[in-house]
Structures are given as C-alpha cells and as structure tokens.
Amino acid sequence: MIRIENLEKVYKTEEVETTALNGINLHVKEGEFVSIMGPSGCGKSTLLNVMGLLDKPESGSYKFIDTELLTLNDRERSNFRKRNMGFVFQNFNLIDELTVFENIELPLIYNKIPTAERKKLVNEIIERMNIVNRSGHFPQQLSGGQQQRVAVARALVTKPKLVLADEPTGNLDSSHGNEVMELLCELNETGTTIVMVTHSSHDASFSNRIINLKDGHVISEKINKSRNEELI
C-alpha cells in the first residue's frame, strides 16, 4: 500500500544542518502492522510525520496505493490526510475544552459527515472502546489510559486506511500501555494498516515487522515470527 523511495529530509538551522532522513526506502503492505524503532534522533518521528503528511521531505517519492503524495499542495494534503489517515500521539493531544464525545466527533466534522451519521459513528466507537460512561467528560477528568483510548477512538472514527501512532504508550504505565497495544492489535486484525514509532521492544513485539533506524538509514528489518505465526 505504501511505497517510500529514497526519502531525504534535512533540518536546517543557522549553525547546523541535520540530516534526519538519508535515503529511506520502505514498503508497507495493506493490513500490515509495522513498528519503527531506533535511538533518539534517528529520524523515526520525522519519518512518521512525513508519512502523515505533516512534514515535507527534500526529495524522494511517497506513493500511497497509486497516488504520489509528495507533489500535492497544502489543501490536497489536508484532504488526503483527513480521508485516509488516523493519528495517535504519545501525549494524547485531546482538546481540553471539548468533551470525549466532541473530541471524537471532530474529525468527522472536518470530513463533512452529516450530524445524524456523526452521532451514530461516534456512539459506535465509544461503545467499542468501552468508554460509554465517559462520553460527557472532559479529558482532564480521565486517567492517562482512558485518554489514550479516546485518542485511539478519535483516530479510528473516520475508518482510516492507515493509522500512524507515535509512541502511543510512552506516557502510560505498563498495564494501561498493554490495553492500548491490545486495542491496536484488534484494530489491525480488522484490516487497518498501522505504522507505529516506539522505544519499547515490548510494544514492538505486537507488530508484524520491526524496522530499525539509525542516523536516517534503515539499518535492519525483522519479521516478527511469533506474531506472524499467531496470525496464521
């Protein structure tokens, strides 16, 4: 589904140039769950941002199914993103002024879904995520794990083809973290493609394939046998 070729990204400040991505090639199949690992500063977040169309690389090619995404303008990128992608962040990034229901509803509004259908979709996902009794609460009134469930719900409500997760368990304790990982696995099993950046090899063990980055290069790729076997 995703074909990334020779991706290069350089951060420039007045004094230094930092090469964040240095000729990355990456293919992701539909329905795959890919983890990206590597030390701090290896470029994994940058790669995720580029994949999410939040950042523009200097050169290379990024094909999603058959569409070349790097030549799109801002408005087209926004449109593509809201139709095809969902995001989960380390620090949840829920809007504090909106309730759980309203937070989840937000992407549907930007996708111009009519009110009645919005309501139905949000209620469905709230039920699925097991947060029905929380739907009128504000983010600050929830625990970290609950907040991340809401964030996952928000990423999924538009039924995206691709979910991008940036250290989704980074701010959670291990039991809440596991809950979230299980949630992502369930999601993956229903056919959603997931790309996740993580520090934790425990989290990575939930995925089909683990890609290791260092200094902007892919240094190794590992098929996660246990998980694949499970699948089979």
Partner 1 sequence: MFRLNLKIALRNLWRNRGITAINVGGLAIALAAFILVTMYFTYETSFDKSNPNYKNVYVVGVSYPEFKTNYIAAPFAKAIKQTYPEVESVGLIKEGSFELTIKNGKNTLFTKNILAVDYNAAKILNIQPENGLTKPSGEVERLNYLSKESMQTLFPDKKDNKPEMVGYGASNSGITVVVAGSIRSNEHSNFVFDGISLAAELGEHDNYDMNDYSIFLKLKPNVNVANLEKKITDLYRYELLKNNTSKKSTAELKAISTFLDPLSNLHLRPKAGNDMPYKTLIALSVLGFLILVIACINFTNLSIAQAANRAKEVGVKKVMGAYRSQLTLQFLTEIFIQCFVATILALILAELVLPYFNNLFQVGLSIWQVDSDLIWQLPLILSLITLIAGIYPAMVLSGFKPALVLKGNFSTSKQNSWLRNGLLVFQFCIAVVFIIGLLIINSQLKYMRSQDVGFNSSQVVYIKNLTLFNNPVKFGSVSFNPVRDRLLKIPGIKSATVASFIPGGQNGINSYEVNASKANIDFVNVDFDYFETLDIKLKEGRFFLNTFKTDTINSAIINESAVAKYSIKNPVGQTIRGCGIDYKIVGVIKDFKTQGFESIVQPTIYTIKDPCGSYKTQILLKIEENKMADALAALKAQWPQINPKDGEDFRYEFLDELYGKLFKKQEQLQSVFFAAALLTIFIAILGLFAFAKYITNGRIKEIAVRKILGASDVQIFKLINSSFFIMVLIANVISWPIAYILTKKWLETFAYRIDLPAMPFVSSALITILLTVITVSIQAKKAVKANPVDALKYE
Helix (H, G, I), strand (E, B) or coil at 141: helix
**Minimum distance of partner 1 from residue 80's CB (angstroms):** 9
Is 192 one of the binding residues for partner 1 (CB under 8 A)?
no
Q: Give least dist CB 57 to partner 1, A.
A: 12
Taking CB under 8 A as the rule, does residue 70 contact partner 1? no
Element (H, E) at 188: helix 174-189
Strands (E), the chain: 2-12, 17-28, 33-37, 59-64, 67-68, 85-88, 162-166, 193-197, 209-214, 217-223
3-state class of 211 per DSSP? strand
DSSP state of 205: T
Q: What character string, x for contact with partner 1 (CB under 8 A) and - otherwise, covers 20-59?
A: -------------------------x---x--x-xx----
Strands ordered across the beta sheet of 33-37: 85-88, 162-166, 193-197, 33-37, 209-214, 217-223
Does the protein bind partner 1 through residue 8 (CB under 8 A)? no
Q: Residues 81 to 100: which contact partner 1 by CB under 8 A?
A: 81-83, 87, 89-91, 93-98
Total binding residues for partner 1 by CB under 8 A? Answer: 29
Q: Least distance (Å) from partner 1 to the CB of residue 205?
A: 26
Kindly state the tokens that stand for 6. Answer: 């020779």
* Residue 154 C-beta: closest distance to partner 1, Å: 8
Summarize as ranges the residues that interact with partner 1 (CB under 8 A): 45, 49, 52, 54-55, 74-75, 78-79, 81-83, 87, 89-91, 93-98, 102, 105-107, 109-111
